[in-house]
Structure 1
Amino acid sequence: MYIPAKINANLARILQKYLLLPLLYFIIPTISFAQNSSDSLFQQKKVIQDSLIKSGFWEAQVEIDENDNLQILKGRPYYWHSINVSEDQLTSDIPFLKKLKGEVANQFVLNIQIKEYIIENYHRNGYPLAKASLSIDNLNDNQIQASINIIAQNYILNDSLNIEGDSQVVNSTYLSNVLDLEYDKPFDIKAFNNITDKISELEYISLSSLPQLAFANNKAIINLKIKEERVNQFDAIIGLVPEGSRTNLTGQVDARLRNLFKRGVGIDMFWQKYSANSQFLNTRIQQSNAFRSPLGVNFGFELLQEDSTFLQTELQIGTYYPLWNALKVGLSYQRFTNNILRDFSETEVLNIDPFRSSMVNAVLLNLEWKRPLTYPELEDYIFAQSNFSFGQKEIINYSALPMAWQNVPENSNTIRGGFKIHMQKVLWKRFLLEVIPQYRAIQNPALSQNDLQRLGGLQNLRGFDRNFFYTRYFGLLNLNYRYFLDQKSSFFLLTDFAKLLANVGWVYATGAGLDIKSQNGWFRIIYALGQETGNMPDFSQGKVHFGYIAVF
């Protein structure tokens, strides 16, 4: 039975799944330039017939009729009877090949599976030149006997990583560990292919050209040409605020240091004193691939002093591991402490939310995909992080609390969690939409005012004072509509929307800003006006942030 050139549904599925790319490669150029030529038709005939045979239809025939149409006779399918394997001239047994017995003898599927086997068992274990050949030994009725010969060839070890360009920027031993290229270990082709992606995740260096690979005396020599990226940042603002007969010092310091000791050690520190007796400190130290292992380590410390009411600290020590590409999973120990700094009068106890001293020991699970941008750039981008912690909370000096504040358990379980996603999408040549949704919540039966999460300020909800809102949960959406003056400098409009506890509801902010990136720094000015739903805007309450961030 002849099948017209509009091939039947079953055959079309086979051609689409396994032959689409080779057919397009050979047929499309022919149709484009010589659609009516006999050479083109004969070439199509040969490609289709050869592809059908390799798909398991050994009796397939393709003919050209008098009207120059292709007539295809598919024939009956052939099945694998046996597949014998030899590895370096020794008979071998590969389990997944046994499962193919009785299946249609599709060489395309078989070659894909053999290729994956070669990559995993040879190319990743010191045999980057290993190859396999398939031969058909016997066709009996509609059964096929085949053999596969795998030749490992030379055993290759990692020899050296040669760094050119800014070669003194990073320690070569540390970089070898980051790239999984340990000296005298079997050469792994996957590790070599991942070099570009792994270096793109390092802020402080980049590649000037593609990695180069050479073999000599059964050793692999990798050459990298790198250049240093200026990513260290420092920003400081000092202010004087008169208060009666006194003058109070306020201000903030924001520092980001990367690649300390040439081994990828990073330090982040943010300090802000936003009133006479209120200050905030956040520090973090981290290093990826520490101690010549894939593991990273991190240490964090946070301090918040709110007027003369309470002092809160958080200590975090943990490790993280790269799971896949840019995805990292971390596990940390957290210790939260809340200390009340003064006694409350009976009137305060009856009229304000409770304040209690407490301590929480918790375990934190953290997931992070990619790394945050150093500053806005005109490119599509996405970054995501999520964390979840579970801990045990103990109220300190429970018996000394006012009776009205003893209406909660002394010991209880506490859960915290949330996520943040940073997305950028280039809309037109110079226009970019920046979308940052995030959510955080805390659940505990003994929550106090000083346990709540705080929202407000330039770092999250712009247009409000820092830590203006206290809430058990919040959902926040930051939107920036950027017009880029050049690749890294932009003017932008902003809108922030946040949903807090029911007694607060929705709040939002609008404003505008300017980011200008120069060779030695980053100039930023932002004006934002925040307001709660239902209230009229008060332009006198707008917040302005002005600063110059030195980049070195």
Structure 2
Amino acid sequence: MYIPAKTNANLIRILQKYLLLSLLYFTGLSISLAQNPVDSLSQQKKLIQDSLIRAGYWEAKVEIDSERNLQVQKGKAFYWKIIKVFEDKLPTEIPLVQNLEGKIANQFLLNRKLNEFIKSNYHENGYPLAKANLSIVDLDKNEVVASIDIESQNFILYDSLDMEGDSQSINIGYLSNLLELNYNEPFNIKSYSSIADKITELDFLSLSSQPGLAFENNKAIIRLTIKEESSNQFDAIIGLVPDGSRTNLTGQVDARLRNLFKRGVGMDVFWQKYSASSQFLNINLQQSYAFRSPMGLNSGFELLQEDSTFLQTDLQFGSHYPLWRSLQIGLSYQRLTNNVLREFSQQEIATLNPLRSSTVNAVLVDLKWKRILTYPQLKDYAFAQLNFSLGQKEITNFSTLPMSWQNVPESSNTFSGGFKVHLQKVLWKRFLIQAVPQYMAVQNPALAQNDLLRLGGLQNLRGFDRNFFYTRYYGLLNLNYRYFLDQKSSFFLLTDVAKLQSNIGWVYAMGAGLDIKSKNGWFRIIYALGEEAGNMPDFSQGKVHFGYIAVF
């Protein structure tokens, strides 16, 4: 087997790290290096021989023949007989290392195991300068006796977090807790190395340079140059709709506030009045790393008034906890109430789906990976969310219901669950495709019209009025095909496809939009036309959203 002499030092490093282990299955190897100078050839001879020895072939020989080829003989394998371990000169046992006894004396593998042990037991527990020294005590026949001396070095504690730049934009105590850099706690190299990633996950902060690190008097000082980012958003539109002799006020307000009280508190408020007597309100509050712990808090309130038919309120509060990197789990309590607002005539009872007043007490569990981008950006990205709830439902007006609406249990278990995934991929220099598949379902033996899931509107199924469809389940796919005019402004085509419960079937929407990002805001206009499968498009029913989202 011959490899041309034009191969450079990169190839030698690859051989040393990866390929040499495969070469151990062969009894010899010739490498043609005729075009290399003698010094380079000698250096590569030494590198290959040292790598074979470290891989467990202690009798390996590499020679240069008369034609300036490298002749490699790996020889027989050697095995670890005993691996002695000392921590600060005291004998100890490390199963991760001792398990290698009786196996090929591969120093590459041994060093990797040692690095794992040092990292998890020392570098992440206040000893960032700890190191392990390996020495060979004895070679007997084809067995090796090794000694490992672990030196813990100085014990380091966190002393302070120094901030420069926009240092007044966030509370230093909150940021220290979020980054797990708490005063007088053992230095953790893992926490330090993850600083940049954690700040990248924040909407309202960024780093102007890489984190700095200094050690003074066995204390660690972290230096960060903070830059405040515009992350708050406000969008509002107000309309007047004539109704006979009256004029009704309609409109929409969408506000997203981040880093309230300089402690990373986020608040989302969405209000929409989409007809004279129908409105929707959603308020959410959340904070990660509250009370000097990794635990976060969240609460929410939702109100839906549908004409003069029913009023629904949904109150939730709970907590969430980071499991790994960008993955977090949440646990919440939910109290959902439905109140029917009027009585129904016999004709309505015979023709309408049942409406019942009820109360649901439930426990919600959700998993989130990353977070949805606040506005479209030209980059690959992924977000995922999984949630489900289990609760007890009580019909509160059971005794006053019409007899035909009493054909369900007064008390029953209820279950709901679903998922949402946001994927986007840059296909060419300026072209990006976004795909948002999601599914939601609710299961209960006493479902009423006002208990069903609602679909329609700019937030999910575009081209339809808000809450246009009522359904027990839905599968929805939103597709956006974006062409970016710059890094944050884009023109896009859209396609929405949804499958609802069987008596509704398939629905779809098509349209186009424009997002223009400026320094102080975000201009958006969207036109979408929605139709049920089997119907011809009616362009007069298209929906237009026009607005300017202020960013501050």
User: TM tier, shorter chain?
Assistant: over 0.9
Kindly provide the CA deviation profile for residues 130-157 of structure 1, in whole angstroms up to 9, marking residues without a partner as x: 1111000001111111000111111111
Kindly provide the CA deviation profile for residues 350-395 of structure 1, in whole angstroms up to 9, marking residues without a partner as x: 2121111111111111111111111111111111111111111111
CA contact under 8 A between 1:439 and 1:475: conserved in structure 2? yes
Instruction: Answer yes or no: is 1:388 the counterpart of 2:374.
Output: no
Structure 2: which amino acid aligns with 1:20? Answer: Y
Alignment coverage as a number of residue pairs: 534
Cα distance in 1 for partners of 2:391, 2:530 equals 35
Kindly provide the CA deviation profile for residues 34-62 of structure 1, in whole angstroms up to 9, marking residues without a partner as x: 85444444333322221121111112222
TM-score, normalised via structure 2 length: 0.94
Cα distance in 1 for partners of 2:370, 2:35 equals 48
Structure 2: which amino acid aligns with 1:492? Answer: F
**2:248 aligned counterpart, secondary structure:** strand
Aligned to 1:10: none
Aligned to 2:452: 452
Cα distance in 2 for partners of 1:433, 1:218 equals 51
Cα distance in 2 for partners of 1:16, 1:409 equals 70
Aligned to 1:364: 364
Aligned to 1:318: 318
- CA drift at 1:67: 4.5
Aligned to 1:533: 533
Cα distance in 2 for partners of 1:33, 1:383 equals 51
**1:80 aligned counterpart, secondary structure:** strand
Aligned to 1:308: 308
Cα distance in 2 for partners of 1:61, 1:32 equals 16
- CA drift at 1:91: 1.7
Kindly provide the CA deviation profile for residues 287-321 of structure 1, in whole angstroms up to 9, marking residues without a partner as x: 11101110000000111110011111111111001
Cα distance in 2 for partners of 1:17, 1:270 equals 59
**1:284 aligned counterpart, secondary structure:** strand
Aligned to 2:473: 473
CA pair 103-390 structure 1, distance change in 2 beyond 3 A: same
CA pair 78-33 structure 1, distance change in 2 beyond 3 A: closer
- CA drift at 1:487: 1.3
CA contact under 8 A between 2:16 and 2:48: conserved in structure 1? no
Aligned to 1:12: none
Cα distance in 2 for partners of 1:21, 1:358 equals 68
Cα distance in 2 for partners of 1:253, 1:461 equals 19
**2:540 aligned counterpart, secondary structure:** helix
CA pair 503-79 structure 1, distance change in 2 beyond 3 A: same
CA pair 150-394 structure 1, distance change in 2 beyond 3 A: same
Cα distance in 1 for partners of 2:100, 2:393 equals 58
CA contact under 8 A between 2:32 and 2:69: conserved in structure 1? no
TM-score, normalised via structure 1 length: 0.94
Cα distance in 1 for partners of 2:420, 2:399 equals 39
- CA drift at 1:401: 1.3
Matches within 5 A, 1:52-91: 52-91=52-91
**2:291 aligned counterpart, secondary structure:** helix
5+ residue gaps, structure 1, are 7-14, 24-30
Aligned to 2:197: 197
CA contact under 8 A between 2:522 and 2:548: conserved in structure 1? yes
- CA drift at 1:217: 1.1
Instruction: Answer yes or no: is 1:397 the counterpart of 2:393.
Output: no
Structure 2: which amino acid aligns with 1:166? Answer: D
Matches within 5 A, 1:206-217: 206-217=206-217
Cα distance in 1 for partners of 2:64, 2:73 equals 12
Aligned to 2:259: 259
5+ residue gaps, structure 2, are 4-12, 22-30
Structure 1: which amino acid aligns with 2:58? Answer: W
Instruction: Answer yes or no: is 1:438 the counterpart of 2:438.
Output: yes
Aligned to 1:28: none
CA contact under 8 A between 1:5 and 1:72: conserved in structure 2? no
CA pair 37-17 structure 1, distance change in 2 beyond 3 A: closer
**1:91 aligned counterpart, secondary structure:** strand
Aligned to 2:277: 277
**1:528 aligned counterpart, secondary structure:** strand
**2:184 aligned counterpart, secondary structure:** coil
Matches within 5 A, 1:124-523: 124-523=124-523
- CA drift at 1:68: 4.2
Cα distance in 2 for partners of 1:267, 1:34 equals 70
CA pair 289-491 structure 1, distance change in 2 beyond 3 A: same
**1:391 aligned counterpart, secondary structure:** strand
Kindly provide the CA deviation profile for residues 321-352 of structure 1, in whole angstroms up to 9, marking residues without a partner as x: 11111111111111111111111112211212
Question: Which stretch shifts more, 269-278 or 354-363?
Answer: 354-363
CA pair 296-287 structure 1, distance change in 2 beyond 3 A: same
CA contact under 8 A between 2:331 and 2:365: conserved in structure 1? yes
Cα distance in 1 for partners of 2:265, 2:106 equals 52
**1:221 aligned counterpart, secondary structure:** strand
- CA drift at 1:16: 8.0
CA contact under 8 A between 1:34 and 1:40: conserved in structure 2? no
Structure 2: which amino acid aligns with 1:407? Answer: N
CA pair 348-324 structure 1, distance change in 2 beyond 3 A: same
CA contact under 8 A between 2:34 and 2:69: conserved in structure 1? no
Question: Which stretch shifts more, 404-413 or 62-71?
Answer: 62-71
- CA drift at 1:273: 0.5
Aligned to 2:550: 550
CA contact under 8 A between 1:327 and 1:369: conserved in structure 2? yes
**1:19 aligned counterpart, secondary structure:** helix
CA contact under 8 A between 1:271 and 1:279: conserved in structure 2? yes
Question: Which stretch shifts more, 73-82 or 532-541?
Answer: 73-82
Structure 2: which amino acid aligns with 1:244? Answer: G
**1:290 aligned counterpart, secondary structure:** coil
CA RMSD of aligned residues (A): 1.9
Cα distance in 1 for partners of 2:34, 2:195 equals 43
CA contact under 8 A between 2:62 and 2:71: conserved in structure 1? yes
Structure 2: which amino acid aligns with 1:203? Answer: D
- CA drift at 1:500: 0.8
Sequence identity percentage = 70
Cα distance in 2 for partners of 1:391, 1:479 equals 33
CA contact under 8 A between 2:389 and 2:416: conserved in structure 1? yes
Instruction: Answer yes or no: is 1:19 the counterpart of 2:17.
Output: yes
